[in-house]
Amino acid sequence: MFFISKNMQTHLVIGNIFSLLCAICIAMSVVKKSKKDFMYWQIGCTLFGGIANIVLYAYAAFVISSVSLIRDILSYKNKLTKNITIVLLVISIIIGLYANNLGIIGLLPIIASASYTLCIYITKNEQQMRWALVSNLSLWFIHNLYIQAYPSAIANIVLCIWTFIQILRNRK
pLDDT digits (tens, 9 = 90+) for 27-66: 888 888 788 888 899 999 999 999 999 999 999 999 999 9
Give the residue with greater pLDDT, 7 vs 57. Answer: 57
Which residues form the domain of 29? 2-170
pLDDT at 172: 62
Q: What are phi and psi of 64, to 5 degrees?
A: -60, -45
Is the model's pLDDT at 2 over the cut of 90?
no
Is the model's pLDDT at 6 over the cut of 60?
yes
Residues near 106 by beta carbon (within 8 Å), at least 6 away in sequence:
58, 59, 60, 61, 96, 100, 143
> How many angstroms separate the Cα of 72 from the Cα of each of 43, 47, 75, 142?
6, 10, 5, 23
Is the model's pLDDT at 99 over the cut of 60?
yes
Burial class (CB in 10 A: 0-12, 13-18, 19+), 27: middle
pLDDT at 138: 96
pTM metric for this prediction:
0.87
Residues near 112 by beta carbon (within 8 Å), at least 6 away in sequence:
64, 135, 136, 139, 140, 143
Q: How far apart are CA 117 and CA 125, in angstroms?
A: 14
pLDDT at 1: 40
The stretch 62-72 carries a mean pLDDT of 94
Nearest to 154 by CA among 11, 20, 15: 20
Tell me how many domains the chain contains: 1
Nearest to 141 by CA among 156, 159, 162: 156
